[in-house]
């Protein structure tokens, strides 16, 4: 895969900006997740102005939190030749920083805040002085905040961009904190890898011993460096792996251990998180006969097709970003609907495994949408799937209203990984009984 060296790989540059805030995030107890949607593009722009716009934005996503999660998402589209439309969303949820800290962050980004009432939602708008794009900010107390940068940049997809497909090759991801790998897991699965996550080198070694003879081992091993996981330990595992296996130690950018770890035989050291081009590089490096997942026993590796699917139904973009990020952390693939009518249409087109339903929405609220979905299920037009309400405190509709409509559970915002994970476990493992109509049979959706 050769790219025009005179242009900048936007995905690489954005990833580099995220890398510069990972250590700050870890110190504050903020988990960073990176995702990239769209083709790799090279843009006609100077690196320094791009960094001058992207790095403060990434830093702002950490500064507005005291602890929690920051979701860095890039969407790229090239609707006309020579132009790339780039949207960067930085969604934040958890324990928010004090009001005055957020005010200072907005001032540093030269965002002009709209007048609002104390304790209510905040919104601000501005422009990137260096790039000419628009930058906006929305904060909903006790729910989350969202920075959005939209850019139109001259550039294109490289003409010789090769299609990447791992064809089921196995990737093992090792980290003492499993959430670390959720976004990388999805990104690898998108290009055809099957993945398994291990909590330690020892657990991966045991799994290696259990593999039947035809399954020689994984084609890619990525371990996240920590106090209990070093390059030396990874090198020992590397000595047991087949020739051609890629072994990578992921570490924080600029970490003092990077040079020492790089001396370990067979171990490649790369800064965390990985860029889109690095994910493709791992795939293009595959040996033609790289072992796939066929023949493995439990625990079965995961593919993109095996991921459970969730539908987030909410009319607020902040809530959409936050809920999507949390569900992805929990291992689901996520679609979004903006109201009850949209939710019904999407469920008919592709029934999900789980629906996270806001209650108060325009056109059709979540209670009415749930009743209609349950009726369609009772009529056999849709398979059974779980529906859980996500409501803000003080809503006029109670938990009892949601359950009476046929929902399987009720969560209060702000959403947390623990509460959402518990709701998912209850909902996805519950018996798939036939749904009872929640509205009179004579009424049709």
What number does CATH give the domain 307-428?
A: 3.40.50.2300
Helices (H), 191-245: 201-210, 231-238
The whole-number pLDDT of residue 334 equals: 95
Q: Are 360 and 395 in contact (CB under 8 A)?
A: yes
The whole-number pLDDT of residue 180 equals: 82
Residue 125: how many other CB atoms lie within 10 Å: 14
Bridging pattern class, strands 65-80 and 30-37? parallel
Say yes or no: do domains 170-304 and 307-428 share a fold.
Answer: yes
The whole-number pLDDT of residue 247 equals: 94
> 216-226 burial, b if ≥16 CB within 10 A, otherwise e?
bbbbbbbbbbe
Which tokens in the block code for residue 8? Answer: 């900048």
The whole-number pLDDT of residue 142 equals: 82
The whole-number pLDDT of residue 119 equals: 62
The whole-number pLDDT of residue 212 equals: 76
The whole-number pLDDT of residue 292 equals: 63
Q: What is the pTM of this model?
A: 0.86
Picking from 383, 410, 416, 385, the residue whose alpha carbon sits closest to that of residue 397 is 410
Q: Which CATH number fits domain 8-156: 3.40.50.150, 3.90.1150.10, 3.30.70.940, 3.30.565.10?
A: 3.30.565.10
Q: Which residue has the tokens 């001058």?
A: 52
Exposed (0-12), middle (13-18) or buried (19+): which is 352, by Cβ within 10 Å?
buried
CA-based max dimension of the chain? 73
Q: Which CATH number fits domain 170-304: 2.70.150.10, 3.30.1550.10, 3.40.50.2300, 3.40.50.10300?
A: 3.40.50.2300
Q: Are 196 and 291 in contact (CB under 8 A)?
A: no
Distances (CA, A) of 293 to 28, 132, 186, 226: 38, 47, 17, 28
> 235-250 burial, b if ≥16 CB within 10 A, otherwise e?
bebbeebeeebbbbbb
Q: Name the residue ranges covered by the structural domains of the chain.
A: 8-156, 170-304, 307-428
- Average pLDDT per block of 10 residues along the chain, 445 residues long: 62 95 93 92 86 93 95 94 94 93 95 77 86 90 92 87 86 88 91 93 91 78 88 87 91 70 78 95 83 55 80 94 93 94 97 95 94 96 94 70 90 89 84 41 34
């Amino acid at each position: 895969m050769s790219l025009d060296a005179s242009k900048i790989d936007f995905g690489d540059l954005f990833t580099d900006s995220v890398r510069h805030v990972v250590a700050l995030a870890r110190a504050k107890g903020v988990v960073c997740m990176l995702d990239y949607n769209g083709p790799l593009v090279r843009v006609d722009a100077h690196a320094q102005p791009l960094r001058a716009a992207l790095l403060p934005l990434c830093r702002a996503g950490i500064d507005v939190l005291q602890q929690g999660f920051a979701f860095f998402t890039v969407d790229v589209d090239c609707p006309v030749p020579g132009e790339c439309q780039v949207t960067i969303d930085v969604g934040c949820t958890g324990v928010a920083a004090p009001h005055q800290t957020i005010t200072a962050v907005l001032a540093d980004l030269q965002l002009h805040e709209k007048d609002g009432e104390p304790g209510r939602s905040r919104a601000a708008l501005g422009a990137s002085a260096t790039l000419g794009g628009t930058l906006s900010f929305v904060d909903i107390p006790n729910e989350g905040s969202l920075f959005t940068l939209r850019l139109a940049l001259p550039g294109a997809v490289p003409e010789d961009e090769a299609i990447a497909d791992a064809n089921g090759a196995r990737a093992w991801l090792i980290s003492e904190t499993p959430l670390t790998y959720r976004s990388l897991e999805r990104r690898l699965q998108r290009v055809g890898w099957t993945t398994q996550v291990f909590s330690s080198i020892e657990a991966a070694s045991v799994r290696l011993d259990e593999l039947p003879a035809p399954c020689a081992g994984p084609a890619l091993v990525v371990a996240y460096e920590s106090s209990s996981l070093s390059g030396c330990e990874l090198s020992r595992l590397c000595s047991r792996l087949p020739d051609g296996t890629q072994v990578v130690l992921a570490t924080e950018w600029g970490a003092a251990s990077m040079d020492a770890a790089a001396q370990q035989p067979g171990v490649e050291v790369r800064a965390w998180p990985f860029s889109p081009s690095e994910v493709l590089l791992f795939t293009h490096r595959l040996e033609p006969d790289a072992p796939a997942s066929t023949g493995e026993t439990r625990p079965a590796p995961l593919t993109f097709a095996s991921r459970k699917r969730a539908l987030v139904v909410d009319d607020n973009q902040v809530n959409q970003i936050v809920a999507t990020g949390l569900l992805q952390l929990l291992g689901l693939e996520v679609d979004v609907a903006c109201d009850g009518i949209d939710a019904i249409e999407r469920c008919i087109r592709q029934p999900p495994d789980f629906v996270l339903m806001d209650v108060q929405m325009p056109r059709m609220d979540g209670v009415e949408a749930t009743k209609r979905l349950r009726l369609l299920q009772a009529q056999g037009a849709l398979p059974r799937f779980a529906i859980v309400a996500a409501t803000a405190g003080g809503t006029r509709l109670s938990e009892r209203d949601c359950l009476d409509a046929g929902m399987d559970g009720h969560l209060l915002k702000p959403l947390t990984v623990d509460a959402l994970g518990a709701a998912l476990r209850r909902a996805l493992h519950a018996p798939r009984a036939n749904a009872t109509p929640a509205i009179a049979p004579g009424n049709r959706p």
